[in-house]
Amino acid sequence: MLVGLSALSFSFRCGLVGRGTSRAVASPLGIDAIIALAVRAGLQSVALPIALLPDQAPARLAALRDRLAMCGLTPVVDTDVIDLASLEAAIPVAAALGTRILRVLASPVLEGARAAFTADWEAYLAGVIARLRAARPLAEQYGITLALENHQDLTTDDLLHVVAEVGGIGVTFDPVNALIVAEDPFTAVHRLAPHICNVHLADYIAYPSHEGWRLVRCALGEGDLNLRRLLVLLAALAPAAPCQIELVSHSARHVRLLTDAWWRGYPARDIRDVLPVLREFAAPSRSRDDDWRTPWERGAPEEQIALYEDQQYASSLTYLRSIGVLTRP
C-alpha cells in the first residue's frame, strides 16, 4: 500500500483556506515544502492540487517531476469540478508531472446537500458523463486515468453508473464522504473495489445536532471511523491504489439527514441500507451542547490553526505506524 500525503491536509498553511481574506496565512507553504514533509515521514505518494502549481512552464514541471521521482513519491494531481476546458488543460500538466491519476470532482455540492444544488440530479449527472466522455480520449493519449471522487455528492450507485457510461475511468474513494451521503463506507468499498485507483485517508468526530450530525476533522485513529478495518479491506481489494492522508476541511460538515429537505436530493432508499450510518453517528456519547468548532471556526489566530494542522498530521503518522501500515523512515 502506497501511503502518502495530500497537500490539502495543510489547506490553511498552503493558503487555500481564507484565501483572499484578512485571515489568510501570511507565508503559504509551497509544493516543495509539502514534498519535504512527505519525505521526512517516509511516505510514498503525494497529492497536489493543480491550483498550487504557481508555474506550469514545461521546465518547471519537468524539474518537479524529477524531484518527485528522486524522492520516491508517486504523484497524484487534483483538479476541481469538471469543466471540459479546464480538464483538457489539466491533463497534459498532470502527465508532465509523471502522474497516472487525475482526481476530478462532479459538482460543488458539500454536506450531501444535492437538493439545494439542483432539482434534477439525473440531468446534472448526464452532463458530467458527457464531459468525461469528451475528455477521455485526451486522457488516454497522455496515459492518465481520470479518478472521479465521491466528494460529498456522489453515491456508490452514481459512481458505478458514471464509470459504466464513460468507460476507462476510475474512482477516488473517501470513506468520510461516503458517510456524508448516508452510505456505509465498508459496503461502498466492496462495491467500488474494481474501480478504486486512489484513496483519501480521513477520520472524523461526529457531533449531534437537531438536523443530523456535524462531522469535524481529526487525526487518523482519533475519530469515530474504524480505520483499521478500512485499511485491511483496501489492502485486500485495492492494493495498488495510492492512499493519501487528507485531513482537509477546517469547517465542520453538517449532514442534515434527519430533515426531509436533505433527502429530496436522493432516490428512495431502503432504511436498512441507512441504519449502519445512523448507528455509526449515534454511537458516541457526545451532546448537542459540546463545542464542535475547529480553531478556524472559533476565529483562532494563525499560529493556533497552523499548530492544529501540524499536530493532526503528526498524530496520523504515529497511528499509521502503530498499526503497521507505515514504517519509520
Tens of pLDDT, residues 187-221:
999 999 999 999 999 999 999 999 999 999 999 99
Confidence at residue 300, expressed as pLDDT on a 0 to 100 scale: 96
pLDDT at 327 over 90: no
The verdict on residue 329 lying in a domain is no
pLDDT at 8 over 90: yes
Contact between 106 and 76 under an 8 Å Cβ cutoff? The reply is no
Closest CA to 227 of 200, 256, 249, 195: 200
What cell numbers appear for 117 in the block?
A: 444544488
For the chain, what's the residue count?
A: 329
Percent residues over pLDDT 70 in the chain: 100
Confidence at residue 4, expressed as pLDDT on a 0 to 100 scale: 97
64 Cβ contact partners less than 8 Å away, ≥ 6 residues apart? 31, 97
Tens of pLDDT, residues 72-122:
999 999 998 889 999 999 999 999 999 999 999 999 999 999 999 999 999
Confidence of residue 55 (pLDDT cuts 50, 70, 90): confident
196-224 burial, b at 16+ Cβ within 10 Å, e below that, comes to: bbbbbbbbbbbbbeeebbbbbbbbbbebb
Q: Is pTM, for the whole model, over 0.75?
A: yes
Confidence at residue 80, expressed as pLDDT on a 0 to 100 scale: 87
Confidence at residue 117, expressed as pLDDT on a 0 to 100 scale: 97
Q: Across all residues in the chain, what is the average pLDDT? A: 95
Residue appearing with cell numbers 454511537: 283
The verdict on residue 73 lying in a domain is yes
Confidence at residue 194, expressed as pLDDT on a 0 to 100 scale: 97
The verdict on residue 328 lying in a domain is no
Confidence at residue 285, expressed as pLDDT on a 0 to 100 scale: 84
The verdict on residue 270 lying in a domain is yes
The boundaries of the domain holding residue 48 are: 3-322
* Count of structural domains within the chain: 1
Tens of pLDDT, residues 238-279:
999 999 999 989 999 999 999 999 999 999 999 999 999 999
Three-state SS for 192?
A: helix
139 Cβ contact partners less than 8 Å away, ≥ 6 residues apart? 91, 102, 145, 146, 168, 169
Residue appearing with cell numbers 487525526: 219
pLDDT at 54 over 80: no
The verdict on residue 55 lying in a domain is yes
The pairing of beta strand 74-81 with beta strand 101-105: parallel
Confidence at residue 328, expressed as pLDDT on a 0 to 100 scale: 74
139-164 burial, b at 16+ Cβ within 10 Å, e below that, comes to: beeeebbbbbbbbbbbbbebbbbbbe
Q: Give the DSSP letter string of 227-266.
A: HHHHHHHHHHH-TTS-EEE----SS-EEE-TTSHHHHTTS
The verdict on residue 35 lying in a domain is yes
Torsion of CA 311, 279, 186, 177, to 10 degrees: -50
Helix orientation angle between 227-237 and 185-192, rounded to the nearest 10 degrees: 10
Confidence at residue 195, expressed as pLDDT on a 0 to 100 scale: 98
Q: d(Cα 229, Cα 144) in Å, to the nearest integer?
A: 30
Confidence at residue 82, expressed as pLDDT on a 0 to 100 scale: 86
The verdict on residue 66 lying in a domain is yes
Q: Please report, for the domain that includes residue 72, its CATH number.
A: 3.20.20.150
Confidence at residue 174, expressed as pLDDT on a 0 to 100 scale: 98
What cell numbers appear for 264 in the block?
A: 429530496
Mean pLDDT of 54-67: 91
The verdict on residue 327 lying in a domain is no
pLDDT at 284 over 90: no
Contact between 34 and 19 under an 8 Å Cβ cutoff? The reply is no
pLDDT at 1 over 90: no
